[in-house]
Structure 1
């Protein structure tokens, strides 16, 4: 896209529009509801009195961006055939891809196709985790120091052979308050992976931990947090990890979405107990 075409398109885009494009590119897929939570939040964080009015405003913005061909809606909606604008899923459009790349001076080009249902569900679940953390940070509950999506959060390393291994977390998150930082690699599990596949992923984490690379870079190794759909799935994974002697079970946390914010938020300061039972 030429500089002239970029300038012409930029005349039709507000700063918020460009940030929406950047988020759709970064997350790869986002629903109308997720975009509303990120860019047009309802009170008390935003100007809209209700979520319904914020959703209507978001829909108007996204429809305009769709007409400019900078974003494109997927044929599939969340949950299959359903009504309601909040259920629409968006990805970057051809013009949006060219526009953002031209602004960065990137001459490459990415093809955007209709993704499969399983991929879509997983990407939206990962995005929902990230959006929830952003909302918590915007509400002042903690600072969000790092939020890396794939592939930025991936780690390539060698372990005992010349073959390179790539660890592929869904997210890397660092939160902080005035006293502590909490570092987490996050795996969003929808209950579709067989347990042996989950254990294989845990063993890759274990091998990466053994290299010491992450510890050298940040002074610690992040907690590995599996977010699973329900307590039954959580118990199955916890039991499988505990029974696998090739992994260190206390490296892994298995939680449900209800406890996500508590687990990924800054951990409370540890209380050191003196020999006489007091605190230091």
Structure 2
């Protein structure tokens, strides 16, 4: 980076608002990798330092080198007022410096989006934060499937790009909201999955109601018309007991199609995913 560009990337730390001209100069001088950091945080709302390292800083000779570079880039983006770290009391939900949690600052959102859009960073509830971080964990788990010899590409859509709109049987507009939607292409097949991440905060009736929404969307035929098959619905739980209760309830329900669902705990997801792809 030239000295002139570096000078552009050092706004006054005391300023809370970056005007349009300065934001334009920052954007022009910004390395693509820094922009990718902003996009990835925007995609998941909240990410830890470790998440960002695992998503983006993967071409270093060692883990220590990747960690140092990640921290350096995040510190620069924070000085530029493009990202913000959550307060330590929330960040403490995960231990260690790699668990520092980041969100976009208003200037970072403006850099990525239309100037007219409003964005306010805020302190999330612990429940919402934990869910966002768990979804990011699963996203990374999906990306790790590329280490399987038969897997060629993996595409992952986060909310709201994972959502599906359809018309219910009564003509009402309905919205299905998976946490993630993935497409795994292997040498022989294309596997599509809708993924729900549950930390044990949803009651069993709520989970089964969501399964009913998938059944309704399946009945619409939209996915089948486009892709000739309906995706598997993957439920990921933190509790083995909760997972077993959901699995048993799905099998007993006359309204649900058991073959449509896979129920697994988070620590078994990677192993189970490999089995599903065989």
TM-score interval for Structure 1 and Structure 2 normalised by the shorter chain:
0.7 to 0.9
Q: Shift of residue 142 of structure 1?
A: 2.1
Q: Does 1:92 align with 2:104?
A: yes
Distance 1:97 1:140, change over 3 A: farther
Instruction: Report the CA distance between 1:138 and its aligned residue.
Output: 6.8
The answer to which structure has the higher helix fraction is: 2
Cα displacement (A) at 1:54: 2.4
Residue 142 of structure 2 contacts residue 154 of structure 2 at CA under 8 Å; is this kept in 1?
A: no
Moved over 3 A (4+): 1-4, 76-82, 138-141, 262-266
When the two structures are aligned, how many residues end up with a matched partner? 259
- CA RMSD in angstroms comes to 2.2
1:20 is matched with which residue: 27, 37, 40?
37
Report the counterpart of residue 278 of structure 1 in structure 2. Answer: none
The 5-angstrom pairing of residues 120-139 of structure 1 reads: 120-137=129-146
State the match for 2:67 in structure 1: 55
CA distance in 2, matches of 1:80, 1:257: 17
**Equivalences for 1:66-145 in 2 at 5 Å?**
66-75=78-87, 76-80=89-93, 82=95, 84-102=96-114, 107-137=116-146, 142-145=151-154
Structure 1 residue runs of 5 or longer lacking an equivalent are: 269-280
Output the TM-score relative to the length of structure 2. Answer: 0.85
Give the TM-score taking structure 1 as reference length. Answer: 0.85
Query: Are the equivalent residues in 2 in contact too, given 1:77–1:87 (CA < 8 A)?
Result: no
**Which deviations, in whole Å up to 9, do the C-alpha atoms of 1:64-111 show, x marking residues without a partner?**
1111011111114455385x3211111111111111125xxx632222
1:26 deviates by 1.2
CA 262–176 in structure 1, closer or farther in 2 if over 3 Å, else same: farther
Residues 23 and 107 in structure 2, CA contact (< 8 A), matched pair in contact too: no
Pair 1:81–1:20, CA change in 2 (3 A): closer
Deviation at 1:16, TM superposition (A): 0.6
2:183 & 2:271 partners in 1: Cα distance? Answer: 13
Structure 2 unaligned regions, length at least 5: 1-17
Q: Is 2:23–2:111's contact at 8 Å kept on the other side of the alignment?
A: yes
Residue equivalent to 2:277: 267
1:203-245 deviation line (CA, Å, top 9, x unaligned): 0001111111111111110000101113222211101111221
